[in-house]
């Protein structure tokens, strides 16, 4: 990406922000180990700017599916998920597809302001917009993006917050003219600069009656209408931030156990550790893959350049109206990013007018394409984990500080993570009680308690309940 190259100090400022978020994530893991009774245990997540461990290096591709697993599990129907994926949701409305789900902003001040703040319910670090023929309603084009919002806030010249989202910390020079130029190039010539910023200060009300500033008037608005109702420029779903990816990667380097046995299965690990979204494809996959590297005793980080990327579109099974197969590059065009490295930031799936048919005339596995989600299901998203000095660490495992529940009457999807000292929702029961199945100790297979007594269990960790959670 070359947008920052001509802006004075912008590349260094971006590096400072990424490096700062990594250092803040490392500090949070150091605090985690300290609270759990292991103040001397080292943090395995590291910063490429300030640390350079020498030794055998292993790069691990971490790839997941681009269509929201949250919608499929939560709605219980592929068709319902396809439909919901193309509908916008207000920031102050309940999140679709999640059991016992609150809005992203629970107590907004000034409802009329918040009602216009819309996002796409696409939480796999890949968002798309579907364009259709006004007469036939057939799909003519699907636009995909994996660009994080922070990149565009930085280009606007805003000051980005710390990784906890509490303090404005990382200032940028920015270039508002270039930002507007990119909107004109990729979205519409009608975009005006004033339409891309927050027109008001946005507040939420706290439980004690005070208010907190969430968005500042004049700052770049990731939820502007040209990135929501009228177009798409970059990611905007509130979980799709690169800072969240960094924090998740750091959290996943903490080793976990239940009943003395390592927690390694992706869904069980996200519930035990308390990071990310339990029903997503991305967070459990990233967490388990990074944890695998950490259990090898390695230093672990996210490969530079740190970002969110589409790896490729797998068009196997895609056919034209005449039955011919579709080459991956025939209708899928990369507009931003590096396709050769699997670092695609913006792309479009579109049939040239000269072909005489549209995307809606294509089929996947013999099924006509009626929804953008059918294509997104074949999009692969990736980050790359980097492990150095395998076998260097022998860190302790921490007990589970969180858990998930499921409604046994309608077991469609896991709840979000719940601190162990919090009450479970009515009608929901805890899952993964016997981690690793028959390998987990229980009253039935360990009646004398010999197994439990032989394992020095570290104390269960209860992390700060006020910390921002995705």
**3-state SS string for the chain:** CCCCCCCCCHHHHHHHHHHHHHHHHHHHHHHHHHHCCCCCCCCCECCCCCCCCCCCEEEEEEEEECCCHHHHHHHCCHHHHHHHHCCCEECCCCCCCCCCCCCCCCCEECHHHHCCCEECCCCCCCEEEEEECCCCCCEEEEEEECCCHHHHHHHHCCEEECCCCCCEEEECCCCHHHHHHHHHHHCCCCCCHHHHECCCCEEEECCCCCEEEEECCCCECCCCHHHCCCCCCCCCCCCCCHHHHHHHHHHCCCCEEECCEECCCHHHHHHHHCCCCCCCCHHHHHHHHHHHHHHCCCEEEECCCCCCEEEEECCCCEECCCCCECCHHHHEEEEEEEHHHCEEEEEEEECCHHHCCCHHHCEECCEECCCHHHHHCCEEEEEEEEEECCCCCCCCCEECCEECEEECCCCCCCCCCEECCCCCCCCEEECCCCCCHHHCCCCCCCCCCHHHHHCCCCCECCCCCCCCCC
Identify the pLDDT of residue 445: 39
Residue with the larger pLDDT of the pair 467 and 270: 270
Segment 430-444 shows an average pLDDT of 57
Q: Per-residue confidence at 10, pLDDT binned at 50, 70, 90?
A: very high
pLDDT in tens, 72-85: 999 999 999 999 99
Identify the pLDDT of residue 435: 57
Report whether pLDDT(451) > 50: no
pTM strictly above 0.85: yes
Report whether pLDDT(459) > 80: no
Segment 37-59 shows an average pLDDT of 93
Q: Per-residue confidence at 436, pLDDT binned at 50, 70, 90?
A: low
Segment 375-402 shows an average pLDDT of 95
Identify the pLDDT of residue 434: 73
Report whether pLDDT(463) > 50: no
Identify the pLDDT of residue 267: 94
Residue with the larger pLDDT of the pair 241 and 107: 241
Segment 395-414 shows an average pLDDT of 92
Identify the pLDDT of residue 297: 95
Segment 227-242 shows an average pLDDT of 97
What percent of the chain shows pLDDT beyond 90? 78
Average pLDDT over the chain reads: 90
Identify the pLDDT of residue 328: 77
Q: What's the total number of domains in the chain?
A: 1
Report whether pLDDT(457) > 90: no
Residue with the larger pLDDT of the pair 20 and 102: 20
Identify the pLDDT of residue 54: 85
Segment 173-193 shows an average pLDDT of 98
Which residues constitute the domain of residue 385?
1-470
């Amino acid at each position: 990406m070359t947008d920052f190259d001509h802006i004075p100090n912008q590349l260094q400022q971006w590096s400072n922000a990424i490096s700062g978020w990594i250092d803040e994530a490392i500090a949070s893991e150091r605090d985690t180990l300290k609270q759990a009774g292991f103040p001397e245990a080292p943090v395995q997540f590291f910063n490429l700017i300030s640390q350079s461990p020498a030794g055998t290096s292993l790069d691990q591709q971490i790839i997941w599916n681009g269509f929201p697993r949250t919608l499929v599990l939560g709605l219980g129907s592929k068709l319902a998920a396809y439909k919901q994926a193309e509908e916008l949701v207000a920031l102050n409305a309940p999140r679709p597809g999640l059991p016992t789900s609150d809005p992203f902003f629970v107590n907004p001040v000034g409802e009329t302001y918040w009602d216009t703040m819309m996002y796409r319910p696409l939480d796999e670090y890949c968002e798309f917009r579907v364009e259709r023929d006004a007469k036939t309603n057939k799909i003519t084009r699907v636009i995909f993006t994996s660009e994080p919002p922070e990149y565009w806030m930085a280009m606007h010249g805003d000051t980005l917050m710390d990784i906890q989202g509490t303090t404005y910390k990382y200032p940028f020079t920015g270039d508002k003219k270039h930002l507007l130029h990119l909107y004109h190039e990729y979205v519409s010539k009608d975009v005006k600069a004033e339409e891309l910023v927050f027109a008001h200060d946005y507040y939420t009300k706290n439980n004690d009656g005070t208010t907190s500033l969430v968005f500042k008037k004049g700052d770049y608005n990731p939820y502007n209408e040209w990135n929501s109702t009228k177009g798409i420029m970059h990611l905007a779903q509130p979980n799709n931030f690169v800072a969240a990816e960094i924090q998740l990667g750091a959290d996943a380097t903490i080793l976990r156990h239940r009943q003395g046995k390592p927690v390694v299965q992706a869904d069980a690990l996200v519930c035990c550790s308390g990071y990310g979204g339990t029903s997503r494809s991305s967070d459990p996959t990233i967490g388990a893959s990074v944890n695998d590297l950490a259990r090898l005793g390695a230093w672990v980080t996210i490969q530079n350049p740190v970002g969110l990327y589409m790896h490729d579109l797998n068009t196997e099974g895609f056919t034209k109206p005449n039955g011919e197969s579709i080459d991956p590059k025939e209708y899928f065009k990369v507009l931003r990013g590096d396709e050769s490295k699997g670092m695609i930031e913006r792309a479009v799936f579109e049939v040239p007018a000269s072909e005489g048919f549209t995307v809606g005339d294509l089929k996947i596995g013999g099924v006509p394409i009626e929804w953008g989600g059918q294509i997104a299901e074949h999009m692969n998203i990736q980050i790359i984990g980097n492990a150095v000095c395998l076998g260097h660490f022998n860190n302790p495992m921490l007990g589970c500080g969180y858990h998930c529940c499921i409604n046994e009457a309608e077991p469609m999807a896991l709840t979000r993570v719940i601190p162990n000292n919090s009450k479970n929702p009515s009608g929901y029961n805890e899952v993964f009680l016997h981690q690793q199945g028959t390998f987990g100790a229980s009253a039935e297979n360990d009646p004398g308690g010999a197994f439990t007594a032989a394992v020095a269990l570290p104390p269960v960790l209860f992390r700060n309940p006020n910390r921002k959670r995705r």
